[in-house]
Amino acid sequence: MQGVKVKDNILTISMILTLLTGFGASLYFLIALKINNYLGWLLFGGWVLVPYVMAGVRSYILNDAPLKKTAHFIALTVAIISGLYLLLDAIYINPDPQGGLAVLMVPIFQVPIYLAIYFIAVLVGNKCQASHSS
């Protein structure tokens, strides 16, 4: 039972580090946009950082089974990486005047990516558990 607790703690720490990394990188990309007023920071910053806050709240509030927690971590990591890639592409790789609009689309892409990966991971995990128990 002690091994399960250690794995759970490692997973929780990994989730926190992933969320903080994504949050910090998103803030860096927002700084790179050179937003020059408070309302812009409030709107852009709030919108881009909402998925990280929601994922953090979900991680904190829900005390899931290890399978669902692992699926959450996998989906969270893929969604964060994809969102950061979209920001990197819009701001540095292919910059254009509509970069701000692309930044606003990032959370809209992150949510379906998270949901799809989460459900796939849960289904695969359930199949693996069923095959090990029989």
Give the model confidence (pLDDT) of 86-134 as tens digits: 889 988 898 888 877 888 888 899 989 989 998 998 899 888 878 877 6
Residue 60 has pLDDT above 80, yes or no: no
| Structure token pair of residue 24 | 């910090």
Q: How far apart are alpha carbons 28 and 23 in whole angstroms?
A: 9
pTM across the whole model: 0.82
Per-residue confidence band for 4, with pLDDT thresholds at 50, 70 and 90 = low
Question: Which residue in 81, 69, 125, 77 sits closest to 106, CA to CA?
Answer: 81
Q: How far apart are alpha carbons 63 and 60 in whole angstroms?
A: 7
Q: What is the mean pLDDT of the chain?
A: 83
